Amino acid sequence: MDYNKLLENGNEYNVIVEVGKAPLQKSYKVHSVILCYRCPRLYEEQCKQESIIKTIKKPLITTDVFDVIIKFIYSGVITLENVDPP
């Protein structure tokens, strides 16, 4: 299933994934139910927290790479058109 619209608008999110290091850090508003079924590793990380809105920090992943990862998690499609090679 394609949940891109849910990712794009962030409605009803309950997890924030902070990616990268300042000044290139970016926050993603995501949904634990999507993570549960599509990315168990991230889901397990957010399960350790008791707050309503959980935060996962991934400073060692670049925002370009995480854009590809999170879009794949939500849509099942990988698009590498706008990704610069390392």
The letter for the amino acid at 28 is Y
Rounded CA gap, 81 and 83, in Å?
6
Residue-wise pLDDT for 19-78, tens only, equals 999 999 999 999 998 988 888 888 888 888 888 999 999 999 999 899 999 999 999 888
Global pTM reads: 0.83
The residue among 6, 1, 15 whose CA lies nearest residue 53 is: 15
pLDDT in tens, 18-28: 999 999 999 99
Structure tokens at 73: 């998690």
**Which residues does 69 contact at the CB level (< 8 Å), separation at least 6?**
61
- Is there a cis peptide before residue 23, judged by omega within 30 degrees of 0? yes
Domains parsed from the chain with CATH numbers:
4-75 (3.30.710.10)
What 8-state DSSP symbol labels residue 52? S
